[in-house]
Structure 1
Amino acid sequence: HEHGADAAFAGWLMPIVPPMVSSAVGIGLVGALDGLEAQRTLLVVRAMLFGTTIIPALFVMGLVWHRLLRFGVGPAQRVPMLASVLGPLGQSATASIALGTAAETLLPAPLGAALHAAGVAYAVVALGFASLWFAIVVLLVARQARRGLPFSLAWWSFTFPVGTCVTGFAALAHETGLAAVAAVALASYATLVGAWLVVVSRTLHGAIVTGELLLPPEPGRTAR
């Protein structure tokens, strides 16, 4: 495929994230396995799934950042999809803590404890950048809303990616015991619920009441 320098958009992250989801939720399978060898093997597989997502995601996020700096945000309908960048960040934070917790249980003390600490440290860094990106998305969406931001299914980008940050902050709050982090997790959850209610109502209205979502899309207006 041939793509121009302005072709990158956050939607490219969607097929990359599933392995990270498997890495994060795979902790539930560890206890179901018999024998330490099988449990450690699953831990290694989950860590490999983590790498399968995070490295390509970093490349795509770099391309999206480059596109924002050089070419603007693109068509107005795609502006909400910028929230998709939160997906691999929040999910990787959740996965890193889950992996570290499992490693501390399954591996020898020095190595397991070190991996646990590394998982928490990574989560702090990833959620820090996620917070910055969330602020950027809020500003860009607010600016585009003043110019005109039509509803589309891209608005669903405000749900799952934000949800991954909720689980990431909740896991970090559990590990650190910090009230401030717990408050951020709660605020993120409230934001998620509000976004979900808005998107669901707009989707039902557009699909059932007006039928607009079932019509062929119109060419998007480019936002700068």
Structure 2
Amino acid sequence: MMIMGSLAEKVRQFTPNWFAITMGNGIVFLILAALPIHFSGQQILAEALWAIDTVVYMIFALMFTARLIIYPDTIKPMLQHPVQSMFLGAIPMGLVPIINGIVIFAGPRFGSDVYSLAFFVWCFDVVLAVVIAIGVPYLAFRSQNHAFEKLTAVLLLPIVAPEVAASSAAVLAPHLAPEIARYIIGAGYVLWAISVPQAFMVLTLVFFRLVIHKLPHRDLGVSSWLTLGPIGTGALGLLTLGQAAPAAFSGTQLASVAITARDFGVIGGLLLWGMGIWWLVCAILFMSHYRREGLPFNLGWWGLTFPLGVYVAATLNLYFITQLIVFEVIGIVLAGLLLGLWLIVLIKTLNALIHGRLFHAPCLNDLN
């Protein structure tokens, strides 16, 4: 009875923040699979992490669904919470690396049926991402309690989800029939447009808030790394969609447009990559400041992984496309930083999980 009661309380306190773990693990196995340098067991390790991440995501999805069904009174407080609600964006974003893993790892072994499965899961992810990207900001506009001095880059989380799905479109498109691939790539550009301009508006607000109110409280200190997310994914989307477009639109009236998209992808990706350098250096400087204050561990620490990871992915794609060694070197160095941060956060998460310190939903404080 005590075990069941404990599990029930964990379900009740389960938050969408947990899906940030699947985002972080996901980008790590994708980077491992894409590294231009190779080591023994690299592919096996990447596939194993993908399999583990898939199982973990399914467990999280079951727990979150159980919370919504068994404890419907917790839904409104979650949606009205100005921070907790933002992490709903982690649900579709955590699914994207798993979809990419299906294409990269399972596709070559099992063929077209696997690619069809990935396509249907991607469609579900797109719908979920768009609903959250519109719904959560709408709640922020209508009823959530926000203050400018408390604004952080966490506000990006629901907005960025569609552009993450857009980058996955380019991974999936080459493995589908051309007529379907064309729709997917077109949808990818629309998803990119839904996210990136709004993300840059938020980045502007974050910049201005930092100027006026300085760094956020140390509990949200890691959120400074989230600024890399839309920049890295935005660059990655332009690069990968541009590379996938010519083959998909070959022989159609839009063939020349697809070539332009490829060239624009390189230019646009490089411009966004350059902007990312500024935010990356700022994030490192911010962390040096917080280190002196002491950063309390929470699930937000997983924000150290996915945003940096997508920036690494964009860097490596720039290398694969341009063959400029500078991008290879920077990509490998940043990949090493990513793996180091991932290991630190993973160890701290497992330790906190063992001691039962992570199951707490701040939005339910008034209900307890």
TM-score under structure 2 length normalisation = 0.55
Please say if 1:30 is aligned against 2:176: no
Q: Distance in 1 between matches of 2:306 and 2:195?
A: 16
Residue pairs, 1:8-157, within 5 angstroms: 8-34=151-177, 36-107=178-249, 108-157=254-303
Which residue in 1 is equivalent to 2:94? none
Displacement of 1:110 after TM fit?
A: 3.4
1:51-108 Cα deviation digits (max 9, x unpaired): 0110111111111111111001121110111101111111111110111112222344
Shift of 1:111: 2.2
**Count of equivalent residues:** 215
**Which runs of 5 or more residues in structure 1 are unaligned?**
218-224
RMSD value, Cα: 1.8
Partner of 1:164: 310
Do the aligned partners of 2:148 and 2:209 also contact (CA within 8 Å) in 1? yes
* Cα separation, 2, equivalents of 1:51 and 1:216: 33
Aligned-pair distance for 1:206?
Answer: 1.9
User: Distance between the aligned counterparts of 1:150 and 1:81, measured in 2?
Assistant: 13
Cα displacement string for residues 171-210 of structure 1 (whole angstroms, at most 9, x for unaligned residues): 111111011101111111111100000001111112214x
Distance 2:154 2:255 in 1: 41
Instruction: Tell me which protein shows more helix as a share of its residues.
Output: 2
Question: 1:216: how far off?
Answer: 7.4
1-structure distance, mates of 2:175, 2:318: 25
SS at the partner of 1:3?
coil
| Cα separation, partners in 2 of 1:216 and 1:91, compared to 1, 3 Å | closer
Matching residue of 1:213 = 358
Give 3-state SS (helix, strand or coil) of 2:150's partner: coil
* Distance (Å, rounded) in 1 between the aligned partners of 2:153 and 2:171: 30
CA distance in 1, matches of 2:211, 2:235: 26
Counterpart in 2 of 1:187?
333
Question: Which has the bigger relative contact order, CA under 8 A and spacing at least 6?
Answer: 1
Greater mean alpha carbon deviation, residues 165-174 or residues 4-13: 4-13
SS for the counterpart of 2:158 is: coil
Deviation string, structure 1 residues 92-135 (Cα, Å, up to 9, x no partner)? 11110111112222344532222111111111111111111111
Q: In structure 2, give the amino acid aligned to 1:82.
A: S
Structure 1: which 4+ aligned runs deviate by more than 6 Å? Answer: none
Q: Deviations over 1:19-38 (max 9, x none)?
A: 1111111123323433x443
Cα 1:106–1:216 change in 2 (3 A) is: closer
Within 2, Cα distance between the matches of 1:214 and 1:25?
31
Moved more, 63-72 or 109-118: 109-118
Aligned partner of residue 14 in structure 1, secondary structure: helix
Return the TM-score normalized by structure 1: 0.89
Q: Which amino acid aligns with 2:207?
A: W
Q: Which residue of 2 aligns with 1:221?
A: none
SS of residue in 2 equivalent to 1:180: helix
